[in-house]
Amino acid sequence: MMVVRARWALVLSVTVLTGTTTLGAPTASALTQHERVVTHLKARAASARLPRTTCQVFPSDNVWNTPITSLPVDAHSATWLSSMNASSTLLHPDYGPSSNSRKPYGVPWNVVPAHTTFTRIKFLYASESYRGPYPLTSSTPVEGGSDRHALMVDPTKSASSSACTLFETYDTNYRANGRSTAGSGAIWNLNSNALRPAGFTSADAAGLPILPGLVNYDEVASGSMNHALRFTVQCTQQSYLWPARHEAGQANANCPPMGARFRLNASFMLPTSTCSSFCQTVLNTMKTYGLIVADNGSNWYFQGTADTRWMANEVDQLKQIPANQFVAVDESCLMVSPNSGLALQPGTPSFVQRCTTTKANNL
């Protein structure tokens, strides 16, 4: 069942949290560990393409697509997990079949057909929204419930945007003759690592894109889903962590900030008798790429695409994952620039120098 998520308020003043890294010489054991990760990186050298397009979902060195298996545990991990009721909560896949086989749960997205007429949208949060125009039409699928997200990927170059542009809107209401409205809207060039301006929201409370963080049926079916997943928590603090760009929190420092990243323990296992290949693929993604706090909502709900091919038993198997098997990681050492999603890659000299030394200093 879909949940109604608490919506954020526009905030003019935000706090950006950044970590501190210490440079130093890598150890031989660290080099060996990262050499193993290099093998994985080479295997995913070409970023996955979105179905029915030739578009990648950001470059392979984007933070969404970067493994976090060797990153240090964040010093605030235990405090954040406590605020998220991790000790008594199982993860919940917020997608799958519904009572209407033609309208599955999840977040729909569409590939913009050629020659689509773009339209202007009037935004509630206009000062933080991309003015447009947008490829929104009467046939664009819109998420059910209160959030009413619309995710549109245009694989071809238009008069106002480059090829492989992702358009996302929140509280979307299409009306003919240029009278459409939405709460907010943002675009991303999927061939670029550029982030939203600091302090800007998007169609999501964290100022992040939605589509790159969804559990995608085609990826799961292929046995490889090489990116982080988005999820919600009830309480976030009044700050955000790179690569997030916006906060929507409470005056409670015990809660995680927007953008906080969590990793499933490598030792956690589910037997194949209760966790099929689909389930195992998602587990491996959570261990390798983790979860990113992207919005306020029910604790430990992670989102996926609305797809009629999801099977109830395959989705339900993911409800066995205990939240207490996660830790928050400190990914600040991956950041090359605060205004870019470009991330240092495991196995490279820069990563070994910055991230393995940070881990050693946190032990």
Closest by CA to 224, choosing from 356, 7, 348, 45, is: 45
CB of 209 closer than 8 Å to CB of 243? no
Looking at residue 358, its pLDDT comes to: 57
Which element (helix H / strand E) includes 232? Answer: strand 229-233
CB of 122 closer than 8 Å to CB of 115? no
Among left, alpha and beta (phi > 0; psi -120 to 50; other), residue 132 is: left
| % helix, strand, coil for the chain, step of 5 | 25, 20, 55
Q: Is the Cα torsion angle 73, 8, 138, 188 positive or negative in sign?
A: negative
Looking at residue 23, its pLDDT comes to: 32
Upstream peptide bond of 133 is cis (omega within 30 degrees of 0): yes
CB atoms within 10 A of CB 115: 6
CB atoms within 10 A of CB 104: 20
Query: For the chain, what are the domain ranges?
Result: 22-362
CA dist 361 and 220 (Å) reads: 36
Residue 250 has φ and ψ, to the nearest 5°, of: -110, 165
CB of 91 closer than 8 Å to CB of 318? yes
Whole-number Cα distances in Å, 288 to 49, 68, 182, 303: 19, 6, 35, 17
Looking at residue 356, its pLDDT comes to: 84
Q: Which residue numbers in the chain have pLDDT < 50? A: 1-16, 18-39, 42-43, 45-46, 363
Ranges of H-type helices in the chain:
28-43, 77-83, 217-222, 277-288, 312-316, 349-351, 357-362
Looking at residue 313, its pLDDT comes to: 97
Which element (helix H / strand E) includes 154? Answer: strand 150-154
Q: Tokens for 314?
A: 């395959």
Looking at residue 137, its pLDDT comes to: 98
Write out the DSSP string of 180-209: EEESEEEEEETT--BPPPTT---SSTTS--
CA dist 314 and 178 (Å) reads: 42
Looking at residue 282, its pLDDT comes to: 98
Query: Residue 50 corresponds to which amino acid?
Result: L
Looking at residue 361, its pLDDT comes to: 55
Prediction pTM value: 0.88
